Amino acid sequence: MLFSSLTFVWFFLPALALIYYLAPGRKIKNAVLLIASLLFYSWGEPRYVALVLLSILFNYLFGLAIGKAGGRKGLRRAALAVCVGANLCLLGYFKYFNFFLELAYTVLGKEGFTPRNIALPIGISFYTFQAVSYIADIYRGVKPVQKHIYRLAMYISLFPQILSGPIVKYNELEPQIEGRRESISMHAYGIRRFVYGLAKKMVFANMFGQVVDRIWGLPLEQLGTAVVWFTILLYSLQIYYDFSGYSDMAIGLGRMFGFTYQENFNYPYLSASISEFWRRWHISLSTWFKQYLYIPLGGNRKGLTRTCINLFVVFMATGLWHGASMNFICWGIYYGIFIVAERLWIGRILEKNPCKALNHVYTLLVVMFGWLLFRAGSLHQAKVLATAMLVPRAGLWNLRIFMDNRIIFLLILAVCFCGPVQKRFPGLTKHLYDGEQTGAVDVAVMAGLLLLCTVLMVSSTYQAFIYFRF
């Protein structure tokens, strides 16, 4: 089930909200949310709900084992290692088995590789990382061992973020399971935030995605320079509005039921460096890797060389997390190179540069070439398209074929509202993301956007969500 579907918007969510607010007491409300979350996850692929339940039970038992080990550091470390390793092996089997097996065949020079029919469970990367967060937090003593399995089940399987994030750390959500308080203003804010995210997805991401997919389906060698640049621009906007829209919807849904999630995007296309871009893009993933990988590796505490190595390792892991493909790994390496280069010398140049606009141009160009690598189906495709972007050439298709008045209008709006308007009018951002006061104007805008999104959901079957692959 998708957030941007008629079933969810007009049936599942209203029914859940009604049952939830009629339910007496915190325990019953939590039970309603837990059952609804498992039903939501099992809607499209019921067989994989058993995998989620297995993950919950496994991490619960190992959490108890870490707690019983007490001050015996050896036992605690062994339990931590086995549990984290098992979580990563589970993720690795479904997500990376065929990739690494094919890679092994290539390295060994063997032929006859036949991939296994292994379907990727939706959201497995997100709930696996949340499970690892729980184990790591109780091992470090940040939070006590969870003795109530239903609370851990809620943390791992809560429906707003299980499929698409944001990645919620255990120490952030655990106090809210029993200690949260709902209110009419919070619920209204949650609806408002959900509708804004839905509009991002339906109006911008879906419209741009259809054009991008259409162009990408053509022979790439025959695309001209202008068409390729236009495609990458649209894709850059598509992935931003797609994922930030889903994050807004998840944050809004959480707020409807009393949960507060951290922001996942902070207008990343306003960034003036690649380091700043990654502080603004997919914030929950960046902070997860910082807390559970970068810092345990030593962070910046062991000298510049070790810091650079740690940063590079983190971004390689980031690339691998996004998918079992060489282009994702190269995408992570690509950003690792720029992050390290900014730490060593480019950062100083950017700071001293009197023309800050050039810093933004540099960042956007790096990011757009990065999205090309991200979107490409193979390194060969990425090479073909990158060459077309750098070496001017004519193509068989005129750019005007893909630029009708609707796309031009949406493109202008999308560029304006991906950060420039919010920077010019900071009060707008504060109202949208910080304030919980919902006025008559907000209600009118929400009603209009919801009507528009409903029309689009009825009239279109295009529902691609980029981050479902993760």
Same domain, 448 and 310: yes
Same domain, 71 and 147: yes
Position 467 scores a pLDDT of 59
Contact call for residues 320 and 328 (beta carbons, < 8 A)? yes
- Tens digit of each residue's pLDDT (9 = 90 or more) over 440-452: 888 898 999 999 9
In a domain, 218, yes or no: yes
Q: Is the pLDDT of residue 470 over 70?
A: no
Same domain, 130 and 227: no
Domain boundary among 179, 208, 239: 179
What b/e readout covers 362-396, taking b as 16+ CB neighbours within 10 angstroms? bbbebbebbbbbbbbeeeebbebbbebbeeeeebe
- Sequence-distant (6+) residues with CB within 8 A of 440 are none
> Which amino acid is it at 167?
I
Annotated catalytic, 322?
yes
In a domain, 307, yes or no: yes
Same domain, 391 and 434: yes
Same domain, 143 and 225: no
Query: Whose structure tokens read 């007490």?
Result: 70
**116 or 268, which is more confident:** 268
Same domain, 15 and 59: yes
Same domain, 97 and 157: yes
Domain boundary among 127, 151, 179: 179
Domain boundary among 119, 148, 179: 179
Same domain, 114 and 152: yes
Domain range enclosing 151: 6-179
Q: Binning pLDDT at 50, 70 and 90, where does residue 430 land?
A: confident
Same domain, 157 and 296: no
Same domain, 14 and 156: yes
Q: One of 282, 322, 360, 380 is an active-site residue; which one?
A: 322
In a domain, 1, yes or no: no
In a domain, 341, yes or no: yes
Opening angle at CA 190, ends 189 and 191, nearest 5 = 90
- Tens digit of each residue's pLDDT (9 = 90 or more) over 301-326: 888 999 999 999 999 999 999 888 88
Q: Is the pLDDT of residue 162 over 90?
A: no
Same domain, 152 and 192: no
Q: How far apart are the first and last CA of the chain?
A: 16
In a domain, 72, yes or no: yes
Same domain, 145 and 230: no
Total domain count, the chain: 2
